[in-house]
């Protein structure tokens, strides 16, 4: 018989697992990893711009995508074009970024799988006599290692020609040049930290769902068990 067991710690772990997976996925797909050096508007764009403001703009560059301003258009909120600069994996700007993409993709796939499974931990607490929380925590730890490898390799690609075109000639491996880090990079780091927190917290979720109070509720014949 399926017993639905809901505790504060198990629900918190489930929510964190889902948030971490989405955060890493959004960061990976974003083009806001590097914020390029300021580029002035063209004379035609300045003529079209209401009020004649000459404020420069900052293109952004991701692992496989980029955002840049479309020339010869009236400057507005819709003049920025975002999309992949690489049509296939081999066209990613740097071998280091290709490795980053692989490590992050593997880590994110594991996190998404764990997030999917975590939703069902209210009904299923073990699989093949193994605690599902412990198994998921182990997988999250492995995913975190893949994410760390990807984030360590990513700055090594700052010396590629694509990054130099955005960051200037002073850009090189682990040196930003005229660029700055975008929100996607910080989100990926934060998600990696939360991944290890989830891996550790999964043990608390296991303890909460197998406590004596839960066993007493099961022995009383209750199918829905909610504990704070």
The mean pLDDT of 145-172, rounded to a whole number, is 93
How far is 74 from 41, CA to CA, in rounded Å?
Answer: 11
How far is 9 from 209, CA to CA, in rounded Å?
Answer: 9
Residue 190 pLDDT more than 70? yes
Q: Check if the beta carbon of residue 80 is closer than 8 Å to that of residue 68.
A: yes
Q: How does the average pLDDT of the chain come out, rounded?
A: 84
Confidence of residue 77 (pLDDT cuts 50, 70, 90): very low
Predicted model pTM = 0.84
Confidence of residue 140 (pLDDT cuts 50, 70, 90): very high
Helices (H), 30-89: 43-48
How far is 210 from 94, CA to CA, in rounded Å?
Answer: 48
Transcribe 110-121 into DSSP letters: HHHHHHHHHGGG
Residue 23 pLDDT more than 70? yes
Per-residue burial over 2-15, b = 16 or more CB atoms within 10 Å of its CB, e = otherwise? ebebbbebbbebbe
The mean pLDDT of 199-208, rounded to a whole number, is 88
pLDDT at 227: 63
Question: What pLDDT, in 10s, does the model give residues 84-133?
Answer: 988 889 999 899 999 999 999 999 999 999 999 998 887 777 777 788 88
SS3 at position 109: helix
SS3 at position 214: helix
Residue 74 pLDDT more than 80? no
Count of residues for the chain? 228
Question: What pLDDT, in 10s, does the model give residues 33-53?
Answer: 999 887 765 555 555 555 444
Confidence of residue 63 (pLDDT cuts 50, 70, 90): very high
Find, among 14, 12, 9, the residue nearest to 204 by Cα. Answer: 9
How far is 201 from 194, CA to CA, in rounded Å?
Answer: 10
């Amino acid at each position: 018989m399926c017993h639905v067991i809901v505790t504060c710690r198990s629900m918190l772990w489930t929510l964190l697992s889902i948030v971490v997976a989405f955060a890493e996925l959004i960061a990976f797909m974003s083009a806001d990893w590097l914020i390029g050096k300021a580029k002035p508007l063209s004379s035609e764009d300045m003529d079209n711009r209401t009020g004649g403001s000459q404020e420069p703009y900052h293109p952004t560059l991701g692992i496989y995508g980029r955002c840049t301003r479309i020339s010869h258009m009236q400057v507005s909120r819709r003049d920025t074009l975002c999309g992949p600069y690489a049509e296939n994996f081999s066209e990613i700007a740097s071998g280091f970024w290709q490795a980053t993409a692989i490590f992050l993709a593997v880590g994110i796939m594991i996190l998404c799988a764990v997030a999917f499974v975590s939703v069902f931990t209210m009904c299923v607490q073990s699989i093949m006599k193994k605690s599902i929380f412990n198994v998921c925590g182990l997988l999250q730890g492995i995913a975190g290692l893949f994410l760390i490898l990807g984030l360590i390799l990513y700055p090594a690609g700052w010396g590629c020609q694509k990054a130099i075109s955005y960051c200037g000639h002073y850009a090189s491996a682990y040196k930003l040049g005229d660029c700055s880090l975008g929100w996607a990079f910080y989100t990926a780091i934060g998600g990696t930290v939360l991944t290890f927190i989830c891996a550790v917290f999964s043990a608390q979720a296991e303890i909460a769902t197998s406590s004596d109070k839960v066993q007493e509720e099961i022995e009383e014949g209750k199918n829905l068990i909610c504990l704070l």
